[in-house]
Structure 1
Amino acid sequence: MRISELAHASGLSLHRIRRYADAGLLIAARGQGNYRSFDKQAVRDARFIAMGRDIGFSLAELAELLPRYRRRTLTIDEMVERLQGRIAEVDRQIAEQQALRARLVDHIGWFEQRRARQRAAQPASPFQRPLKRSTKP
């Protein structure tokens, strides 16, 4: 099948399919006119790659998994273990982002305290003083 047919069948863009083929993840033969030609397995492979990318696997990790996926020797237990590893990585990233958030909140507090001290130390502007009312009728 041609690349456009693979794109339609897999739901991926032509750009992504070309990228995966250029990276060696999708196997394409070169046909007449040097066009890429994919077999039916490419649809399954493309979906596997897209799923893996969507959940954060690197292209290198997918390149490692694909041969066994194609041979159907990649087990559910191995995939669960890989997914649990991704969860651990996401949890680590969340912890880093929460720590960064806490530092940002601390910095905001420091700047707010500094602003309050500056305002307290500045003399009041004549425009900020209350107007004196005349007692004459």
Structure 2
Amino acid sequence: MKISELAVRTGVSTHRLRRYEAQGLIRASRRPSGYREFDDRVVREVIFISMGRDLGFSLTALAEFLPRYRAGRLTAEEMIESMHERIAEVDREIASLRALRRKLVSHIGWFRKQQGRRERAATAARERPVFPQSRKAPR
């Protein structure tokens, strides 16, 4: 099948399919006309890669799974373990983002406090009575 047909069957863009091929994740033969020709089995591989990307796995990690997936030796236990590792990564990212959020909220509070001080100082300066300066009598 042509790359456009593979894209329709998998829901993955032709641009992304070309990227997968360039990185060695999927393989295509070439027709005499130069067009790519994909086997039907590549549909499963692309869906596997696409689902892995949806779960946040890197292409590098998926490239490590693919040989066992193709050979039918990738077990559910291996995938579950990898997903647990991915969950731990996500939890670390969430914790980091929460810490950043707390820092941002703290900085907003600091800026508001500074802004309030400046406004109070400006108001106080406007309300201060102005006394004429005394002039010293010439000698």
For Structure 1 versus Structure 2, the TM-score category normalised by the shorter chain is 0.7 to 0.9
1:124 aligns with 2:126: yes
Give the TM-score normalised by the residue count of structure 2: 0.86
Q: 1:119 Cα shift?
A: 1.1
1:34 aligns with 2:48: no
For 1:14, the equivalent position in structure 2 comes to 14
Per-residue CA shift, 1:68-115, capped at 9, x if unaligned? 001110000000000011110000000000000000011011111111
- Aligned runs of 1:29-108 on 2, under 5 Å? 29-108=29-108
Q: 1:124 Cα shift?
A: 3.1
Give the TM-score normalised by the residue count of structure 1: 0.88
What is the total number of aligned residue pairs between the two structures?
125
Q: Which runs of 4+ in 1 moved over 2 A?
A: none
**Percentage of identical aligned residues:** 54
1:2 aligns with 2:10: no
Unaligned runs of 5+ in 2: 128-139
Q: 1:5 Cα shift?
A: 1.3
RMSD of aligned C-alpha atoms?
Answer: 1.1
Per-residue CA shift, 1:15-52, capped at 9, x if unaligned? 11111111110111112122111101100000000011
CA distance in 2, matches of 1:112, 1:73: 59
Q: 1:59 Cα shift?
A: 0.9
For 1:128, the equivalent position in structure 2 comes to none
CA distance in 2, matches of 1:116, 1:25: 58
For 2:137, the equivalent position in structure 1 comes to none
